[in-house]
Amino acid sequence: MTNATRQALVGYIFISPFILGFLLWQFIPMVTSAWMAFQDWNMISAPHFVFLDNFSTIFHDELFWQSLKVTAVYSLISVPIGLVLSFCAALLLNTKVSGIGIFRTFYYLPVVVPSVAGALLWAWMLNTEFGLVNLVLRSVGLPKVHWLIDPNLALLSLIMVSLWSSIGGAMVIFLAGLQGVDNMYYEAAEMDGAGYWAKLWYVTIPLVSPVIFFNLIMGIIGSFQVFSAGYLITGGGPNNATLFYVLHIYRVGFMYLKMGQASALAWVLFVIVMSLVALIFRYFSRSVYHEAKTA
């Protein structure tokens, strides 16, 4: 065995856990779900081929359009607000003051809280009768708010919960991007008389635009995969006001035992997300700053 062959073999051994994990937990399930999307299967009797009937059924289902609407509204509100808040938090934490590491830890802590524990915590805090939030409101003379049982407020409440749990992750990525900006750009801007806001708008934001673009893409993908908040806090209610798309897939597949329709829903979601990402790359990637390469 030659040295090059030995090195290649060692390399394949080291990457084999990833390859096996990808094949077993991603590629094979995706192929299986693609096959099931054209089958009528209730996990009890044998599946039988129905061609495009599953897609026709879901497109004529009112709950499909309701779940898509809820998820789209959630994405349109939570993603931009999350980007702005996480970027502002990163700006605040990108300073050299005593104890800054403690503040960074506090901001990031919600990210490491398990989603189930966080959802149950917020379900208690937003409870209409004995929740902590309404207790504080009543203590200052304000009326109680029906956070989770009012169809007009339930989705906004879950958006607030999502911001609490997701800002920390994007903030860390923004912070890494901010710390990668060379100080010479700020010194050059100061020599030209630029103030704080001018440096932020003309130096900081353009130079960290790749990070902004990355967090935008990941935020959109994540917003279309939200599940635990709707499932654990509101159960999709009231009146399907928080019926997220993935929660609808779960109901169709594991509550109604329509695995063919659930697989079709999953592939429709895949097409939607990929189309959105492709559109963003097409129309916004040109605005991203790319550092010129030197020979």
**b/e per residue, 126-146, with b = 16+ CB within 10 A?**
bbeeebebbeeeeeeeeeebb
| Residue 33 pLDDT > 90 | yes
| Residue 78 pLDDT > 50 | yes
Residues 167 and 205 in one domain: yes
Q: Residue 288 — very low, low, confident or very high, per pLDDT cuts 50/70/90?
A: confident
Residues 88 and 5 in one domain: no
| Residue 293 pLDDT > 60 | no
Q: Residue 294 — very low, low, confident or very high, per pLDDT cuts 50/70/90?
A: very low
Q: How many domains does the chain have?
A: 2
Average pLDDT for residues 149-171, to the nearest whole number?
Answer: 92
Domain that holds residue 81: 52-287
Average pLDDT for residues 134-163, to the nearest whole number?
Answer: 92
Give dist(CA 125, CA 136) in Å, integer.
Answer: 10
Average pLDDT, the chain: 91
Tens digit of pLDDT for each residue in 246-278? 999 999 999 999 999 999 999 999 999 999 999
Residues 118 and 163 in one domain: yes
Q: Residue 103 — very low, low, confident or very high, per pLDDT cuts 50/70/90?
A: confident
In a domain, 268, yes or no: yes
pTM for this one? Answer: 0.90
Give dist(CA 37, CA 50) in Å, integer.
Answer: 9
Cβ atoms 15, 1 nearer than 8 A? no
DSSP summary character for residue 47: P
Residues 82 and 26 in one domain: no
Residues 89 and 32 in one domain: no
Tens digit of pLDDT for each residue in 167-220? 999 999 999 999 988 889 898 999 888 888 999 999 999 999 999 999 999 999
In a domain, 45, yes or no: no
In a domain, 292, yes or no: no
Q: Output the domain CATH number for residue 198.
A: 1.10.3720.10
Residues 209 and 244 in one domain: yes
Tens digit of pLDDT for each residue in 125-140? 999 888 999 999 999 9
Beta bridge partners of 48: 40
Phi–psi pair at 114, nearest 5 degrees: -55, 140
Q: What is the pLDDT of residue 291?
A: 66
In a domain, 46, yes or no: no
Q: What is the pLDDT of residue 125?
A: 93
Q: What is the pLDDT of residue 126?
A: 93
Q: What is the pLDDT of residue 194?
A: 87
Q: What is the pLDDT of residue 253?
A: 94
Residues 188 and 228 in one domain: yes
Average pLDDT for residues 222-235, to the nearest whole number?
Answer: 92
In a domain, 41, yes or no: no
Angle 156-160-165 from CA coordinates, rounded to 5°? 145
Conformation bin of residue 236: beta by default, left when phi > 0, alpha when psi is -120 to 50 = left
Residues 165 and 247 in one domain: yes
Contacts of residue 111, Cβ cutoff 8 Å, sequence gap at least 6:
165, 166, 168, 169
Most distant CA atoms of the chain, gap in Å: 81
| Percentage of the chain modeled with pLDDT above 90 | 71
Could you give the angle at which helices 62-93 and 209-223 cross, rounded to 10 degrees? Answer: 150
In a domain, 15, yes or no: yes
Residues 26 and 61 in one domain: no
CA trace torsion 68, 72, 78, 81 (10° rounding): 180
Residues 23 and 100 in one domain: no
Q: What is the pLDDT of residue 292?
A: 56
| Residue 148 pLDDT > 70 | yes
Residues 140 and 280 in one domain: yes
Q: What is the pLDDT of residue 247?
A: 96
| Residue 295 pLDDT > 80 | no
Average pLDDT for residues 240-247, to the nearest whole number?
Answer: 95
User: Helix or strand or coil: residue 48?
Assistant: strand
Residues 105 and 11 in one domain: no
User: Helix or strand or coil: residue 49?
Assistant: strand
